[in-house]
Amino acid sequence: MKLGYQTNTWGGVIGHPAGVTSVKDAYYLANGSTEKAITEIAEVGFEGVEIFDGNLIQYEAETENLSVVLKKNNVKLVGVYSGANFIYKEILPDELNKIKAVAKLASLFGAEHLVVGGGGIRTTGPQKDDYLLLAEGLDKVVKIAEEFNLVASYHPHLGTLCQFPEQLDILMPLTKINLCPDTAHLVAGGGDALAIVKKYIDRIKYIHLKDYREGVFLPLGEGQIDIQSIIKVLKDAMYEGWLIVELDAYDIPKKGAEISYRYLKDLI
């Protein structure tokens, strides 16, 4: 197993402001220096990085700049994280075009994974057909990923159609996309992260790890989640992919990365 880290800890999670009025620009964005994040992640010892779609697309016209940073620090761009509502038919083409542009750019840097979250929640709450619409959209994401030699995975997330474990169980039989569990989001949504990883182990090609306690996302080993048992399940299943630590925010980002790195190195 290989160890990677998400750059979003540096600057925290925001959205691109243009996305408020333009769906095609509705990117995730970390409001910090991507170059500093990559440098400090490498200094800690991680081999790879994952990046938000909005931060990646900033390099669309200057790809060499990101290539230099990655090469200088001897780290790999492992994956890119994107998302969409998926349930509104009129805007779906714009959402998918955005994801396609990001997938194309990620592939230029040799990325392996395309991760998406989403499934919008209507004002009136989730509707029965919304899961079908989400599944159809995710299957289109799979095709986009395949076009660019990426592996597509769905990330259950608070504030989406799959924030609760029973909602995930509705969705997964409807789509062929892989599952990217996020250990903390699963627990925050009332689920048992270990049980969910066991249940869907055959569809896990990529995973996000972070700890959780009393409503707070934490570095690994500082919360209530049995990360050790989750790693054992992955080992038993001969999982040889990436373990991506994805901690949305931490006062001193590099320190948070160091805590999680030491924890994982002791386990694997």
At 28 the pLDDT is: 93
Q: Can you list the positions of beta strands (E) in 22-75?
A: 28-30, 48-52
User: Is the pLDDT confidence value at 17 over 90?
Assistant: no
- Identify the domain containing residue 212 by its residue range: 2-267
What is the band of 19 on the pLDDT scale with cuts at 50, 70, 90? confident
At 248 the pLDDT is: 92
User: Is the pLDDT confidence value at 245 over 90?
Assistant: yes
Q: pLDDT tens digits for 30-71? A: 999 999 999 999 999 999 999 999 999 999 999 999 999 999
Q: Can you list the positions of beta strands (E) in the chain?
A: 2-6, 13-15, 28-30, 48-52, 76-84, 113-118, 151-154, 178-179, 207-209, 211-213, 216-218, 242-245
What's the mean pLDDT in 230-248? 96
At 112 the pLDDT is: 98
Query: If you average pLDDT over every residue of the chain, what do you get?
Result: 95
Query: What are residue 203's DSSP bridge partners?
Result: none
For residue 124, what is the domain's CATH number? 3.20.20.150
User: Is the pLDDT confidence value at 268 over 90?
Assistant: no
Q: pLDDT tens digits for 68-102? A: 999 999 999 999 999 999 999 999 999 999 999 99
Q: pLDDT tens digits for 202-216? A: 999 999 999 999 999
Phi-psi region of 178 (alpha: psi -120 to 50; beta: other; left: phi over 0): beta
User: Is the pLDDT confidence value at 16 over 90?
Assistant: no
How many structural domains is the chain composed of? 1
User: 96: helix, coil or strand?
Assistant: helix
